[in-house]
Amino acid sequence: MELSLEIQNASIDEMSSALVMLKDAALWLEKNNINQWKRWLAPDEKTLAWVRQGFDNNEFFFARLDGKLAGMFRLTWDKDRLWDDREAAAGYLHAFTTDRKLKDNNIGSAMLEWMEEYCRQNNRHLLRLDCHSWSKPLRSYYEKHGFKFITDKDSPYGLVSLYELAI
């Protein structure tokens, strides 16, 4: 069955929905004893400013299934500090999450396919992301979707693995 998922830029008046979705993801992670995304449980001013900046720059996208918010992500063209002098013609993926109640609908996979095409249309030859190095299931998920491991780097959130997808 073809997934009918609509993905579009989120508007600034939807920022609270993004924060709720990020908090829900953090609560799910916490409930499953995964020490990740704790900053979304009670975002500080710096974190909220990062979100506001993303909305101001039209970098947040919502995925809707039958009109219901099913997933979201932030996609930037600005080079991420973790990537040093590597080629910058890339899209950088952040805050990628889906509604856990809809996990059997392959929403994450459909969103990644959409991002790949969106990057292609915007002359970006790579889609990049980072994730915690210790998160084997998440790393496997990205590898299953064609992302190539590049290196591990220290970050403010601990050791992260850098991945990229050639487009």
* pLDDT at site 104: 76
Positions of E strands within the chain? 5-9, 60-65, 68-76, 90-98, 126-132, 148-155, 158-166
- Domains, the chain, with CATH or none: 5-166 (3.40.630.30)
At 3, is the pLDDT very low, low, confident or very high (cuts 50, 70, 90)?
Answer: low
- Mean pLDDT over each residue of the chain, to the nearest integer: 93
Cα–Cα distances in Å, from 48 out to 1, 41, 43, 45, 88? 38, 12, 6, 5, 26
Number of Cβ within a 10 Å radius of residue 125 = 14
pLDDT above 90 (res 153) = yes
Q: Which two tokens stand for residue 64?
A: 């809707």
Least confident of 111-115, 143-147, 154-158, 160-164: 154-158
Backbone angles phi, psi at 78, to 5 degrees: -70, 135
For the residues 2-11, what does the mean pLDDT come to? 88
* pLDDT at site 165: 98
pLDDT tens digits, one per residue of 61-82? 999 998 999 999 999 998 777 8
* pLDDT at site 17: 97
* pLDDT at site 61: 98
pLDDT tens digits, one per residue of 13-40? 999 999 999 999 999 999 988 888 999 9
* pLDDT at site 52: 97
